[in-house]
Structure 1
């Protein structure tokens, strides 16, 4: 059986009642976390208005998007917009070691299509679980070669998850879903160069995965034949974007083991690769009680991918660059005691204390940290004080990672912070309550009505 056929059969046939309760709980957490990230992105992203204007030139429809009650977009475009917002603030979740952000695409695709189709909460939760499962099973074997070859995992692999979620909600057969996965592979796109030049617009390629995935499901629904050898074919996805992929592992254990638990939650609005250093500095400050005025220098040893993505920018010139500056994140941790959305703005980027501290941060590749990548992604942080004392911490299992998880309470706190000051602040409790009882909703009109206003 081909990989597309195996994933399709599972996607078409698994029932909500067969999902482990722990998996359902995790899916609700993913919805809560992704919607909070999307609200923050919609409010914070500096290119929101030109992006929406561009989307208005791509067709009209009867779907509203996050932050607007006007029904003006087709469903696939609305999902793409919501997914773009979900990735814009760099607060969305990710796979523990594959550099892929499934939630930013799978959740908006499932919610937008579920709302348009009148699906129940249980049906949408099932679609979310399946979307994550397909993405993670595809991406897990491609790391680290996919990134090394220049492909952005989220922009590419999330397309399969959006297709699976949409196809399930549309009631496609296994054969149609296999064709849809083939179409998804043909339209998957996204380059790591977006993290080097064009950080402000990087989220668009992630949002585009939602559009392409839903489009693939629509093609398949109409009986169009996709490329069912899309994964293992000699010119297929795995060969083009990776190497030495264990193709047998992709479908192994389907229905016996769910991989949504391999998700980490971000606590800071920065690239995940900078966060071990940020959290390491915060931990050292708490443990040893020193302040930023005492710091002489900070050395961060990390792996090559983290160096390439976050070690090149010391003094960011925009909020988008700030999210990809490890030195700036460490400077904020030292001087502000944390990193939040508000710290990415010009007030802090131009602060002489923050800039001076960022200049004291030296980032380099540590051979021992590199040797553990990609199975473990972390950093060794060394803080030297002016009195000669030196403190060091090596950190891999960040708060919010599968190995150091946070629960609903902490995620709800993050959700509350993300909504604070936004047009949704007064609806925070109602939104969280509806997501907590998501499986009981006959339709999600109430939830989406609160978000699209």
Structure 2
């Protein structure tokens, strides 16, 4: 790494200088689409029983009623960012960036929106701050991928940087104070994958921590609380402690030239993104089977997918969402996955268990070579009448190469929120997001949602 160039200072300089007019039109359009997508995920998540722990603790702790929380009373700005971030990750339907292997929306957007609804910022300011947060977070994540991801949950460890930048941008922090916020974000960065081995709920806490503490360090910087000027590249900094691989500064030299925000993927299925190309392949195989049974089935996968989503014989909903084999079996038998296919009852269904047990998973070095540019899977199967079938998917549905249209995202939003908010509210939220740059006060968005919100438990 060049000692005369500072990625940390480059990031804070970019964020301080960024103006709405600098952002390319397609990137603005993507952020608005992703905003609608995340809101749908957060509404559905807030209605889930899994949201209860943070709701109970947030209500117990209390706080100034500064910012809106989906499905709850308003609370202080840090609690609001934390709760909304937690909700947005529950259903495993939020966006994902391939290069950094992270979910930027559910950490950056709640931080920006919490501060904006508190201080009355408008839609243009929010879109600008979200873009700033995405661009910084995704560069940090891509620089340390893939080795960091083997132990650390990148959404959490790098998400706090994105949240701090987004919140700081809404607070109109100058470059020096944005650098301080970035420095203290790095000091608080955390998030380990160990919870996966127990099927625990820590993933939601990761996003809550990243968004809430991102806001917290930005508020501290506003009040003059200093932080490291070189948190990323310093000899005792983030890259040194967390990267687990050699890093370069090249990704921090193309701010304003390369826009990573527009290359983030949408998730059409409610499970780990690493399962999605396998699901697409399974759905293709389902069409080719025409109701016939299989005598053998091999799933060719890549190492990261099996590290994160390699669970076999899942016992509950959480484990099933991180089981590529279960997702393939369920998709072959039931078709396109929905949330009901991950209920505990669906997971324990005998026919699915039998097919899941039949699947042999092989980590394919040729597939490994194209990760993270592609997250591919291949299925090779033989029917009971002896026909050999193959299905290969390089780019799962929702990737930039195979993207979702506004109509697709609207349909997903309605599916995620059906029964929780009224059709009239759905229409209003879609309209607000489509024209978000014209929104004068973003607090109205949450007020609109909460007026009709109904929980499912």
Smaller-chain TM-score bracket: over 0.9
- What is the aligned partner in structure 1 of residue 293 from structure 2? 294
- What is the aligned partner in structure 1 of residue 440 from structure 2? 442
CA displacement, residues 251-303 of structure 1 (integer Å, 9 cap, x when unaligned): 212112211122010011111111111110112333x2522x52233211111
How does the TM-score come out when normalised to structure 1? 0.95
- What is the aligned partner in structure 2 of residue 216 from structure 1? 217
CA distance in 2, matches of 1:352, 1:145: 37
Does 2:108 align with 1:109?
no
* Deviation of 1:123 (Å): 0.7
CA distance in 2, matches of 1:181, 1:58: 27
- What is the aligned partner in structure 2 of residue 355 from structure 1? 353
Hey, which bits of structure 1, 4+ residues long, moved more than 6 A? none
**C-alpha contact 2:164 2:217 (8 A) present in aligned 1:** yes
- 1:61 corresponds, among 60, 64, 67, to 64
**C-alpha contact 2:311 2:319 (8 A) present in aligned 1:** no
Listed as ranges, the matches of 1:219-258 within 5 Å are 219-258=220-259
* Deviation of 1:426 (Å): 4.2
Relative to structure 2, which stretch is displaced further, 359-368 or 399-408?
359-368
Mind listing any 5+ residue stretches in structure 1 that lack a counterpart? Answer: none
Listed as ranges, the matches of 1:104-143 within 5 Å are 104-143=106-145
- 2:25 corresponds, among 16, 21, 26, to 21
Cα separation, partners in 2 of 1:50 and 1:248, compared to 1, 3 Å: closer
Mind listing any 5+ residue stretches in structure 2 that lack a counterpart? Answer: 452-457
How does the TM-score come out when normalised to structure 2? 0.94
* Deviation of 1:102 (Å): 0.5
- What is the aligned partner in structure 1 of residue 379 from structure 2? 381
* Deviation of 1:424 (Å): 4.7
Cα separation, partners in 2 of 1:289 and 1:313, compared to 1, 3 Å: closer
- What is the aligned partner in structure 1 of residue 302 from structure 2? 303
**C-alpha contact 1:36 1:419 (8 A) present in aligned 2:** yes
CA displacement, residues 111-139 of structure 1 (integer Å, 9 cap, x when unaligned): 12111110111111101111110111111
Task: State the superposition RMSD in angstroms.
Answer: 1.6
Relative to structure 2, which stretch is displaced further, 213-222 or 191-200?
191-200
CA distance in 1, matches of 2:24, 2:246: 29
- What is the aligned partner in structure 2 of residue 34 from structure 1? 38
Does 2:417 align with 1:415?
no
Listed as ranges, the matches of 1:90-239 within 5 Å are 90-148=92-150, 150-239=151-240
**C-alpha contact 2:296 2:382 (8 A) present in aligned 1:** yes
**C-alpha contact 1:94 1:265 (8 A) present in aligned 2:** yes
**C-alpha contact 1:141 1:245 (8 A) present in aligned 2:** no
**C-alpha contact 2:199 2:319 (8 A) present in aligned 1:** no
CA displacement, residues 76-113 of structure 1 (integer Å, 9 cap, x when unaligned): 11111100111111000011232111111111111121
**C-alpha contact 1:145 1:241 (8 A) present in aligned 2:** no
Structure 2 residue matching 1:421: 3-state secondary structure: coil
* Deviation of 1:200 (Å): 2.8
Cα separation, partners in 2 of 1:186 and 1:102, compared to 1, 3 Å: same
Structure 1 residue matching 2:12: 3-state secondary structure: helix
**C-alpha contact 1:310 1:324 (8 A) present in aligned 2:** yes
CA distance in 2, matches of 1:5, 1:19: 20
Does 2:83 align with 1:81?
yes
Structure 1 residue matching 2:298: 3-state secondary structure: strand
**C-alpha contact 1:419 1:425 (8 A) present in aligned 2:** no
